[in-house]
Every structure is written in C-alpha cells, then in structure tokens.
Amino acid sequence: MTCPYLDYRDADGEQEFDHERPYCEIQGSFVSPMEADLCNDRHDFDHEADCAVFQRHHLDADQLVPGLELQDAD
Ligand code: SF4
C-alpha cells in the first residue's frame, strides 16, 4: 500500500517540471526517487515500519518529547 501522504506534483510554485515528482505532504517537500520506493512500499519497504517521518507524525505528543511533563501553573 502506498503511503497516504505521498503525492505527485508536476510543479513547484511557478516552476513546472516535464514529469511528476514524488512529494511528501508531511514534510512539505519533494522526495528523491529512492525515498519514493519506500513511500510506495516497493522492494519490501513498508512506509509504516520504515519511514521515520511517518512514524513521528503518528506518535502521541507525549512520545515526541520524552520526559516532558506538562504541569498546571497554578
Ligand atoms: S516520506 Fe514517509 S511520510 Fe512522507 S510520503 Fe514518504 S513514506 Fe509517507
């Protein structure tokens, strides 16, 4: 299954490309063709297991900052 955050775009702002390029919606940037293999789960890749960007995006806020405890200021 392809990562749901993978898009293909044929332009970047005003610059148009002659072919579509892989774009990660979480990172807000284009990814390399090699990274797109991971995004497309090609060659035994699994984006849920192998992509740190995907994993960080799906972590709970508590897991993003280990050890941080929000305390009431009162
Ligand atoms: S870089 Fe990761 S999160 Fe972004 S589209 Fe590819 S697999 Fe998905």
Please write the tens of the pLDDT for every residue from 28-65.
Answer: 999 999 999 999 999 999 999 999 999 999 886 555 55
Q: How far apart are the first and last CA of the chain?
A: 48
Q: What is the DSSP string of 19-69?
A: EEEEEETTTTEE--HHHHHHHTT-TT--HHHH-HHHHHHHS-HHHHSTT--
Q: Does residue 53's CB lie within 6 angstroms of at least one atom of ligand 1?
A: yes
Pocket test for ligand 1, best of 7, 32, 38, 53 (most atoms within 8 A of CB): 53
Closest ligand 1 atom to residue 36 Cα is 6
Q: Does residue 36's CB lie within 6 angstroms of at least one atom of ligand 1?
A: no
At 18, which helix (H) or strand (E)?
A: strand 15-24
- The per-residue pLDDT for 20 is 97
For the chain, domain boundaries: 6-59
**Nearest CA, atom 6, ligand 1:** 39
